[in-house]
Amino acid sequence: MNTMSTSEQLKEIVKEKYSQIAEQSKDQNETSCCGATGCSTVDYTVMSDDYSNLKGYVAEADLGLGCGLPTEFALIKEGDTVIDLGSGAGNDCFIARSITGATGKVIGVDFTEKMIQKARTNAEKLNYKNIEFRQGDIENLPVAANVADVVVSNCVLNLVPNKQQAFVETFRVLKKGGHFSVSDIVLVGELPEGLKKSAEMYAGCVAGAIQKEAYLSIIKEAGFANITVQKEKRINLPDEVLRDYLTTNEIKDFHSGTSGIFSVTVYAEKPENCCAPGCCD
């Protein structure tokens, strides 16, 4: 199996899975592993953060799929143009719009047609005229270069097979001096093989996760500067899941060790002056 076919197969799995999730409620998604999988004993909220107290929150747009609150750290200003990568039903877009106001613009990009439809329906109910949802691939964004003041993304880039290309595209669509704030899932340290299998149960959140240092290196290689981890929290997988994959001693070692699965929110800027690809397009 070549790399291209593997990548395309992963994308089809994501599209099928999130098409199912789009038709479920937040409550249904929270009682399965990252949405439309079958692990009903696992509470997905070990990944997610509570949005409900944020200005602009729309309950119908919250499918419980995030692993952070990037808009909380994104330094969005009134009048900004914001792009949300993997916008789902629109939750982060609506929160961003509450900050940019009527003079700003918010563009949500999602791979799944049913998510785009759901987001557009939610936007129409709110009668927002400055939010747009576009179907497209994060590796090839349907957005012109140098458009965005801010890019956000919430627990999505780990799903993208070619993360290098995703960050190159993020760099391209940002204006000079623009920045991103992205929440994602990363790995720290060497994990037991059994735990890696356990992580695969969270296919929408962890299966595509890579080592934290490799993740930060990809961002640097794309040309970004002032890279900062704004928030980090360990994801504690339930023992009832771990027991299927690890021995009792391995579970103890995992809980007491420094390796693990983490949610991180990362900030970085596109320099005002640079020679990186896409900087002067």
Domains of the chain: 3-267 (3.40.50.150)
pLDDT at 28 over 50: no
pLDDT for position 132: 96
pLDDT for position 22: 45
pLDDT for position 274: 60
pLDDT for position 187: 87
pLDDT for position 48: 47
Do the Cβ atoms of 270 and 223 come closer than 8 Å?
yes
Distance CA 54, CA 33 (A): 25
Cβ atoms within 10 Å, residue 165: 16
What does pLDDT average to over the chain?
Answer: 76
Phi, psi of 275 (to 5 degrees): -120, 15
pLDDT for position 205: 52
Residue 266's SS3 state is strand
33-69: pLDDT as tens digits: 343 333 333 333 334 445 445 454 444 444 444 455 5
**Which residue's entry shows tokens 């699965």?**
261
pLDDT at 15 over 70: no
Largest Cα span, the chain: 57
236-274: pLDDT as tens digits: 777 877 787 788 888 888 888 778 888 899 999 999 976
Q: How far is CA 4 from the centre of its chain?
A: 22
Residue 141's SS3 state is coil
61-105: pLDDT as tens digits: 444 444 555 567 889 999 999 999 988 888 889 889 988 999 999
List the structure tokens of 124: 């129409």
